[in-house]
Structure 1
Amino acid sequence: MNFSTITATIQLCTPLHIGAGKSVDETSDELLLRNARGEIVIPGTSLAGSLRAVATRLAPHLDDYRLCLAIDPNQQRDPNRACNCLTCLLFGTLNPQEDPKNGGHAARLRIYDAKLSSNYNLQIRDGVGIDRASGAAARAERLKYDVEIVAAGAEFQLRMELDRRLRGNAREQQALQLLAATLAEWKAGRGFIGGRSRRGLGAIQLVDVRFAQSDFANKQVLFDFLRNGQDWTAKAGDNKWLEDTVSAARQQIQEQASQRSEQANTAQTTPVVAMARTWAKLDFTLAIDGPFLTNDLVHATLSGFDHAPVLAQYGRVSAQGALGVLPGSSLRGVLRSQAERIARTIATQRAWGDEQAMNPNAPNIFSKTCPACS
């Protein structure tokens, strides 16, 4: 029996928050999730969910444009029908059925909780609810809140085990290629885990991906495993498995694309929205004309000031001084507010009609009546 495992290190590019629900502790409104030993972990369910979301978008490229029932707009969700796409082959069938005739099976991939390494820095990040209409602080319970986060730079140890049947026929080999392509997205820095990912938290990158396999039919191999336990994966493993498998998947996709181009009239079309095709990344430098204030209550308490700026990590400094941070939630809020003002202005202008637009006093009237300008 073959035993296969994939190990890697998850590096936090931005702070991470995976909440344990509303807290009754006075330390923070939302504490980080911890296991029974008090260790901070990323639960396997969160890892599997994030991986599955990426795999669902990538799978049609490897599966002749076949979509998972979860995102196929042309298929009605039948509770009695099991989905057997490549993604479901890896992560478990959508709508599993008790009747074997209807198909379906459990996940062929087992994902363990990722434990936090010894070197890490915890922070309490404050937030203020903003009323979108007035732009002022929201009232009642949303006026002020704080969350516990793991600072950027921390590392978690990822471990996955493959079902021995996953390395069998050609279709299961495709599922393995899909897993490699999904992990490659994380390795390229296009992975997000946890809460508030749209506010700058949870960006990750995968490093040191290793694939290890052992044949337990060999007595000596089995004895070594029983003697050393899971430590054998740290000393073994193919660190080129990811690149080699992704390269094979890329070649297969190119061959399928060439065949479809020759049979363009009969090729199946798939909605672009259901597939991952391209990625866009915007890098820019934000120039501040004047002073601005961000406040970290914990840092302020430690430093003795009434207000102190948000830092990447407590006590972490560079040659230029402390590494300050402008939180993604602040940037997102400002951009969203401005975008809404522009959208409301355009909508109001279009609702005027030609007759009102031709009025000589139109600019003055518009500035007084536009909901985004007032």
Structure 2
Amino acid sequence: MPRPGRPMLARLRVRGWLQVRTPLHVGGAERDPNGDLQVAVNGRGQPYVPGTSLAGALRAFAEGDRPPAERLDSPWGYVMPGTQKGTASRVVVQDALITNTPSLGKDGLPDDVLDPAQLETRVSVGVDRVSGTAAHGFLHGRLVVPRGAYLRLELDVESTPDDLGEDRVWLGRLLGALAEGRVRLGAAKTRGLGRVELLTEALQIHEQRFDNRAGLLAALHGDGGQAWTLTDLRPDQDQAVRQALGIEIGWRPAAPVMVRSAVDGVAVDAGPAHQRDQPHAGRAGPAGAA
């Protein structure tokens, strides 16, 4: 007699760290409608990226990075509009705590969680298309996770022997894109926010089998199963599907352009705009100055 529910005879388990390369904003509940856009926090008040948000970004990238003949409805789930047909996702993405360092405590949980006081504030204004100056009444701010923070990545792919081969391929392609910094998370991605990079030296990929006695006992005893490397999962790593278009615009400001950090304790509070993605160094001055 067939067992009820969805079969899971194998599991690909990924554990690692994503480093925030540009400031990141994943929105949370607003306490004040007139205040800054908040960053999501969990029940303990710790900044984090919800697993649903992370899964959505990963699925969106995976959909655009697949060959035309490949469908990802099976691993990521789908619903046919107007019908009751569909399946749940076989990909389980855990909430990602945001930390200062890529380290785990004795309980296996991140032990250096980012303090909400370390979040930065980014203030934006609307621009009047006629005058080219700041538009009246269009001022807002958002809290962002600072560059250099880390996200704990915990992802499982529930599989079967029939799907396991394809699951390895698309998972390897997705992890490769994360390692190359091609996947962005959160809001304001077109403004440069949300670029993250997978730390391959700390990446752990294990395959567990539940269709035999040895595999079940190994999982119960905490054995991770067969270990894989990112290279093992990427047989087609030289055949990129998604094409990237880079545009570089050269310009010179007509007046001094400054950028300011909202976090105290850096070398300087303000610096030339061309250094905004570099560590603060030197003294504040007009754009182009040393």
Instruction: Report the number of matched residues.
Output: 255
How far does residue 4 in structure 1 lie from its aligned partner after superposition? 3.2
Aligned to 2:3: none
Aligned to 2:195: 203
1:87 aligns with 2:75: no
TM-score (norm 2): 0.72
1:108 pairs with one of 83, 90, 95: 90
2:175 pairs with one of 173, 176, 183: 183
Verify the 8 A CA contact 1:86 1:175 in the aligned structure 2: no
Q: 1:223 to 1:294 in 2, by over 3 A?
A: closer
CA deviations on 1:302-361 (whole Å, 9 max, x unpaired) are 89x9x9458869xx966x43799x9xxxxxxxxxxxxxxxxxxxxxxxxxxxxxxxxxxx
* Letter aligned with residue 282 of structure 2: G
Verify the 8 A CA contact 1:43 1:114 in the aligned structure 2: yes
Q: 1:136 to 1:14 in 2, by over 3 A?
A: same
Verify the 8 A CA contact 1:122 1:150 in the aligned structure 2: yes
Q: State which drifts further: 191-200 or 287-296.
A: 287-296
How far does residue 192 in structure 1 lie from its aligned partner after superposition? 0.5
Verify the 8 A CA contact 1:114 1:158 in the aligned structure 2: yes
Q: 1:317 to 1:55 in 2, by over 3 A?
A: closer
* Letter aligned with residue 59 of structure 2: R
How far does residue 86 in structure 1 lie from its aligned partner after superposition? 2.6
How far does residue 278 in structure 1 lie from its aligned partner after superposition? 2.0
1:131 aligns with 2:120: no
Q: Which has the larger radius of gyration?
A: 1
* Letter aligned with residue 22 of structure 2: T
CA deviations on 1:148-201 (whole Å, 9 max, x unpaired) are 111111111100112132xx22x5522431122122111111110000111111
Q: How does 1:1-374 map to 2 (within 5 A)?
A: 2-24=10-32, 28-59=35-66, 61=67, 65-66=68-69, 86-95=71-80, 104-119=86-101, 120=114, 121-140=118-137, 142=138, 144-165=139-160, 168-169=161-162, 172-208=164-200, 209-215=203-209, 217-218=213-214, 221-225=218-222, 238=227, 240=229, 242-247=230-235, 249=236, 276-282=241-247, 291-296=256-261, 298=262, 308-309=270-271, 320-321=281-282
TM-score (norm 1): 0.57
* Letter aligned with residue 80 of structure 2: N
Higher relative contact order (CA 8 A, sep 6+): 2
Aligned to 1:271: none
* Letter aligned with residue 125 of structure 2: V
Structure 1 segments unaligned to the other structure (5+ residues) = 67-84, 226-231, 254-274, 327-374
More strand by share: 2
Percent identity of equivalent pairs: 24
Distance 1:238 1:308 in 2: 47
Distance 2:186 2:284 in 1: 24
Structure 2 segments unaligned to the other structure (5+ residues) = 1-8, 102-113
Verify the 8 A CA contact 2:270 2:284 in the aligned structure 1: no
The secondary structure found in structure 2 opposite 1:19 is coil
Distance 1:135 1:283 in 2: 22
